[in-house]
Amino acid sequence: MTPDMTALTTELVTLRDYWRYAISRFNAANLSFGHGTTTAGDDAAFLLLDTLDLPIDALDPFLDARLLPAERRLLAERIEARVTTRKPSSYLTGRAYIQGVRFLVDERVIVPRSHIGEILFREYLGPNGSSFMPDQMMVESAVDICTGSGCLAVLAAKFFPNAAVDAVDLSADALEVAKLNLREHEVEQQVSLHQGDLFQPLAGRKYDLIITNPPYVDHDAMDGFPAEFRAEPSMAFDGGVDGLDLVRTLLADAANHLNPEGGMICEIGSGREILEEEFPGLDFVWLETEESQDAVFWISAEALGVTAS
């Protein structure tokens, strides 16, 4: 039954009221999460705070704030939309975050949630710099393959101020969203967008750093997707039968696009054992994140056979 919005917005007056109500609705509807949140409470908090343009990690200070009538109506509508459409909350607010950095998103792109963002912040904001990735100030060229919304390309531009950054995606629609994010973060002069399949539009170009979060979901997993994941572009997930088709191609071609002191950071999901069995001669460095120990690897240009000419 569709709730009576007038009655609802009369009875619910504080952010705490809407948070409690949203959690109840989300649990009753058996929603799925995984787009930056993992529980009904976290997803409700994100939806409410981002809708109100409040800090998404600061629920407590605002819980007992009384909301304006227009705010109540908007929150009620967003809660109802989350339940009835089962779209990820980021599609309803139009925004997603990586390590607190805001990006614009819509149904043309997957909701960004890459582990690579966490790794970049950890490696380059620590007191001693990265132990395996190149020095920030020495990177003069970088590329983000399968850029989607452009979030990792934007972060690359911020972390490597001396680098010219290329960003590639097969989807023209995704690149339109990436263009919005380049403008939003004022890196249009530093980041160039290219449409094409992996390295295909980059013939002859070499980089100090390759960043890639390619589609890596296997077909069985895609068949079991809940509605929230089916709302995203299937192209952004489809990694073939075992999820590693694009990763294999990247590994085969990366050496042709790396400078000798460079390397590639790549997110693969759960295919570590398959890759290590297929490429026993490659020295993968598996990187730990808050949620995994082997979803991302680093491989140096040297390990891929790149030598100084």
Q: What is the pLDDT of residues 244-292, one digit of tens each?
A: 999 999 999 999 999 999 999 999 988 999 999 999 999 999 999 988 8
Residues 14, 65: contact at Cβ < 8 Å? yes
Per-residue model confidence as pLDDT tens digits over 214-229: 999 999 999 999 999 9
Measured CA to CA, the distance from residue 32 to residue 190 in angstroms comes to: 37
Per-residue model confidence as pLDDT tens digits over 51-101: 999 999 999 999 999 999 999 999 999 999 999 999 999 999 999 999 999
> Encoding tokens for residue 288?
């730990």
3-state secondary structure string, 14-60? EHHHHHHHHHHHHHHCCCCCCCCCCCHHHHHHHHHHHHCCCCCCCCH
The phi, psi pair for 229, rounded to 5°, reads: -80, -30
- The DSSP string of 199-259 is TGGGTT--EEEEEE----B-HHHHHT--HHHHTS-GGGTB--SSS-HHHHHHHHHGGGGEE
Helix axes 40-51, 69-85, angle to 10 degrees: 140
